Structure 1
Amino acid sequence: MVPVQVNSGRCCGWGKAFAMFLIVILLTNLLIGHHAFINIMDKSTIQAPIESIAYYMSGEADAYNEPVQYETGTADYEVAVGSSTEGQPNFEEELQLDENWRENLYGPEHFNSSELLHIVIVACGSFENRRNSMLTGAKRQFEQSKALINSALILTKEKLQFHIVVDADDLYLSLEQYVSTMADEYRSKILITKHMVWYPQDRENLKSLFRRCATELIFLPLMFPDVNQIVYIDTDAVFLRPPEHIFQHFHHFNKDQFISLTEVGWQYMTKDIPIYKSGLNSGVVMMDIQKIRQPEVNWLNRTLGIIDFYQRKLQMIDQDILNIFLNSTPQNHYDLPCTWNFRGGSCQKFVNGKSVQGGKLNCELAATDGVALVHGNIGAFLTNGFMKLRQIYETYLNFSMSTQQPSELVTILKHSIEKKLDRGRSPCGAVKGFVDMVLKWPIEALGSNTDN
């Protein structure tokens, strides 16, 4: 940068001219940015009305603090509640043009697709990216995926297909290599499939709009046209109950219901958006894909419309999108029991919305029905704030799938969660009967040898 000297008598005139020059540049950029914004919206799957955009550009609405209000009968309202199917794209044609949408099968060739239970996980990241943090890196995704797969195979009596959605080959290949080292008892029950992340045409901006793969859950119904039902699970989760049991809930869906999540159970984090009841957590999501793909549901148009209108407010991204969607059509949701998404908050004591010392069971059903799945969100499996949940996770992570038998799990798990903590804390440890809640289903599925 060349320094500007201002010690001559012409300084003031030069300063005014330079200031005017900067103002012209800034105004030009603002105009270009405004037109670019309009062009992006015009090209999107959802055609947002120019009046709505102008409203936000004018500053008359605070996009951070006030929810978008849809007037009944307008195009905005139809997008929000799904009463218009105009312009809905042909998903199959898009997917067939995308060479990455279905790849690499690994598993027994004799599997019959009709006998498979389909579980989907999204594990983005690459081992080549050394800038990943502890909570977002490929190493974390790989280890958590291992623990989740281990827990499912130890407990299940069925055949499972794990659909692994990735944005880099190396993470999937590492999981494939890991599964290949398992004993036949486990390997004979799993088929894994690689799927590269997918976005609708003309919406590649979603890759960078939020954090990596944050919206991929929304597009899963469009990625598996020949699958009827899937259960999506965050990688930071482990089963304590046979996974086939959660699929049984599909039988309880009525004709209108096509999606199922658990309620948060305490204060919802994202402010100023419409939510379903007290808010839903998207760590575990059951989807009846064939119902979702019906034209009258208008899934893609509605979800993209929500992203366009609320993108500045979306903190939990896919979770917020689903809450907004189901707020307008609650009849589409089946309430999944809280035991299928047991989190650190399920044990926390809250006063005025803030956690305090001690423990309290916020998922009351777990006291009688046991914990079915543990979800280690907010880093619970990696930090010292929820050590009892971390001990459950580490039991599955360190279980040898090449040498240990399923019957050994209960003894190891019991020893682990009864062990006195040498660091950190655990609200769940303060909940009476928590060990019994954790062991209920492993004992029922595998038997008990816990007297040793």
Structure 2
Amino acid sequence: MILPLFFKQTTIRYRDKSFSNDILYQIQMKWKMLFKLGLSVVVFVAVYLFFALQNQNDSNTQMMPKVMQDHQTGQQESDQSHIDKERGGHDQTANKVDEKPFRSEAWRNGIHLSLVACGDREKESVILLKSAVLFTKTPLVFHIFAELQLQDYFKRQIDFWPDEFRTRVEYHIYNLSFPVGDKSNEWKNLFKPCASQRLFIPSLLTEVDALLYVDTDILFVRPLEDIWAFLRKFNTTQLVALAPEHEDKQSSWYSRFARHPYYGEQGVNSGVMLMNLTRIRQSPWLESLKQYYKDYKLKITWGDQDLLNIYFHYYPEQLYVYPCEWNYRPDHCMYMSVCKGGDKNGANVLHGNRRVMHNDKQPAFKVTYDTFVRHQFGADLKYDMLVTLKKELDKTKHTSCGKVPHIFYKQIENYIDSLDMYKNNESYGG
């Protein structure tokens, strides 16, 4: 009796255990199904969110400007950054057709000013830009071609300008760029380092219609609006404006020493060059200059300036010649005053070639440059600049150029007088 009872109890326990295992198994299966269902829901939601966000990004991309790569540096930057910098900033993005809708108001309607800086020319370049913004109310767009080691200097200096002046300026910094090939270094070192860069600007700044190119040893003493106005005086064939190299044939370097063709009787100076870039791009400009370099490379002395003289010798109808006061150099006063426009109304643009802004060969140019260096943005133009300049020029009256001091300050005085007249009219409700 005991043995059967034992087997009976064992069977019951075994059945109870099997029953429990069945329940546990069913519970596990239900959890697995719930887990799989939950996982499927999570995956479905994740996929849905991914495609929803992707569609949103695609939609935003269509509304936002594209990101483009700089041809010269490889740097990528969006057109929107150009807009964000409309009130100031640098942009190394290569100029492309599809950027046009995003160009700033300054780019479209301002004055475009360009220079090329190599070697130790960065400081005088910044003083040049300073002189431009001091007297010009129209928005300015600076196109600065510079060696890599100089580019940060320009950014730091311009970004440090007070807002009153900084917001009038949009600036762009570019790497140097010369025709690709065996002669690339020859172009770069033609005459002075990088000076020939100006010859290739029309093919580099393809979205700029007009441009004022200047050497770095320039000071503006008159608003840029006035030289920019010469563009409206161009006839239908003219594409560049330059000033004569000399005022009379007897003292002209070209008439006495040139071994190559040149413009007119005295030749022209390339230091202050007003350019209709659109017309230049439609002309035989670039290919002609390359050919002239091949033909006359052993006969030219002043590098790119000689090439320009050769070009305008063959295409004189393409040149507008403005008076000497728009490119006033030591040659105009070192022996006697020979620039009639400057004698009458003062110089408009001072060109301190042969380093006279930094040496003692022509003190009148040097003290003028030093006055611009010391002048602080926002300081009173009349008492801080004009009065100081007159005092410094008085110390140079024993020198040839110092004998005509009004040439250096007359236009600054005229500008200050115009500001005073405007303020008086405003005071009286005029």
Change (3 A) 1:100 1:196: farther
Q: Is the 8 A contact 1:151 1:396 kept in 2?
A: yes
Question: Which residue is 2:116 aligned to?
Answer: 122
CA distance, structure 1, for counterparts of residue 138 and residue 189 of structure 2? 39
Counterpart of 2:259 in structure 1: which amino acid? D
Change (3 A) 1:150 1:264: same
The 5-angstrom pairing of residues 191-270 of structure 1 reads 191-202=170-181, 203-207=183-187, 210=190, 211-265=192-246, 266-268=251-253
- 1:189 partnered with 2:152: no
- The one of 284, 300, 304 aligned to 1:318: 304
Task: Specify which structure has the bigger relative contact order, considering alpha-carbon pairs within 8 angstroms and separated by 6 or more residues.
Answer: 1
Q: Is the 8 A contact 1:155 1:445 kept in 2?
A: no
Question: Which residue is 1:34 aligned to?
Answer: none
The 5-angstrom pairing of residues 432-443 of structure 1 reads 433-434=406-407, 437=410, 439-443=412-416
Q: Is the 8 A contact 1:386 1:428 kept in 2?
A: yes
- 1:152 partnered with 2:138: no
CA distance, structure 2, for counterparts of residue 256 and residue 102 of structure 1? 38
**Percent same amino acid among aligned pairs?**
26
- Count of matched residue positions in the alignment of Structure 1 and Structure 2: 323
Question: Which residue is 1:272 aligned to?
Answer: 259
Deviation at 1:416, TM superposition (A): 2.5
Deviation at 1:124, TM superposition (A): 1.3
Q: Is the 8 A contact 2:346 2:408 kept in 1?
A: no
Question: Which residue is 2:388 aligned to?
Answer: 412
CA distance, structure 2, for counterparts of residue 283 and residue 200 of structure 1? 22
Runs (5+) with no aligned partner, structure 2: 1-68, 89-103, 422-430
- TM-score (structure 2 length as normaliser): 0.69
- TM-score (structure 1 length as normaliser): 0.66
The 5-angstrom pairing of residues 52-451 of structure 1 reads 97-99=71-73, 108=87, 111-125=105-119, 138=120, 141-168=121-148, 170-202=149-181, 203-207=183-187, 210=190, 211-265=192-246, 266-268=251-253, 271-277=258-264, 278-294=266-282, 297-349=283-335, 360-401=336-377, 404-407=379-382, 408-418=384-394, 420-421=395-396, 426-431=399-404, 433-434=406-407, 437=410, 439-447=412-420
Q: Cα deviations across residues 38-67 of structure 1 (Å, max 9, x unaligned)? A: xxxxxxxxxxxxxxxxxxxxxxxxxxxxxx
More helix by share: 2
CA distance, structure 2, for counterparts of residue 208 and residue 320 of structure 1? 15
CA distance, structure 1, for counterparts of residue 75 and residue 420 of structure 2? 41
Question: Which residue is 2:62 aligned to?
Answer: none
1:198 partner SS: coil
Q: Is the 8 A contact 1:381 1:389 kept in 2?
A: yes
Counterpart of 1:382 in structure 2: which amino acid? H
CA distance, structure 2, for counterparts of residue 102 and residue 155 of structure 1? 34
Deviation at 1:442, TM superposition (A): 3.7
Change (3 A) 1:223 1:428: same
Range moving further from structure 2, 188-197 or 205-214: 205-214
Runs (5+) with no aligned partner, structure 1: 1-94, 126-137, 350-359
Larger radius of gyration: 2
Q: Cα deviations across residues 329-351 of structure 1 (Å, max 9, x unaligned)? A: 110000111111001111122xx
Deviation at 1:405, TM superposition (A): 4.1
Q: Cα deviations across residues 157-192 of structure 1 (Å, max 9, x unaligned)? A: 111011110122x31211211112211111111111
2:173 partner SS: strand
CA distance, structure 2, for counterparts of residue 115 and residue 100 of structure 1? 28
Q: Is the 8 A contact 1:107 1:187 kept in 2?
A: no
CA distance, structure 1, for counterparts of residue 131 and residue 222 of structure 2? 9
CA distance, structure 2, for counterparts of residue 285 and residue 417 of structure 1? 28
Q: Is the 8 A contact 2:106 2:170 kept in 1?
A: no
CA distance, structure 2, for counterparts of residue 107 and residue 171 of structure 1? 23
Question: Which residue is 2:12 aligned to?
Answer: none
CA RMSD of aligned residues (A): 2.6
Q: Is the 8 A contact 2:244 2:321 kept in 1?
A: yes
1:148 partner SS: helix
Deviation at 1:428, TM superposition (A): 1.2
Range moving further from structure 2, 315-324 or 263-272: 263-272
Change (3 A) 1:305 1:101: farther
CA distance, structure 2, for counterparts of residue 146 and residue 229 of structure 1? 22
Deviation at 1:209, TM superposition (A): 5.3
Deviation at 1:309, TM superposition (A): 0.9
